[in-house]
Amino acid sequence: MELMSDAFLKDTYYAAVQSKLDQEFIQMLLFEMKRRQLTDEDVRNTA
């Protein structure tokens, strides 16, 4: 995950939520977003 840009991470999270992918995958993305101090609010603002 460290190789993903912030923008790609946000896009991946948004797509995962929209596609109703596995909750464990979504949680992993959220964990990485929190580690980078990004929020799902950031995702909504870029979508």
> At a CB cut-off of 8 Å and minimum separation 6, what does 14 contact?
43, 46, 47
Rounded Cα distance, 32 and 2, in Å? 8
Structure tokens at 23: 């909750």
Work out the average pLDDT over 10-33: 94
State residue 45's pLDDT score: 59
**Across 9-31, average pLDDT:** 94
Q: State the pLDDT at residue 21.
A: 97
Residue 43 pLDDT: 57
- Determine contact, residues 7/43, Cβ cutoff 8 Å: no
Whether pTM exceeds 0.85: no
pLDDT at 28 over 90: yes
Buried b (16+ CB within 10 A) or exposed e, 1-35: eeeeeeeebbebbbebeeeeeeeeebeebbebbee
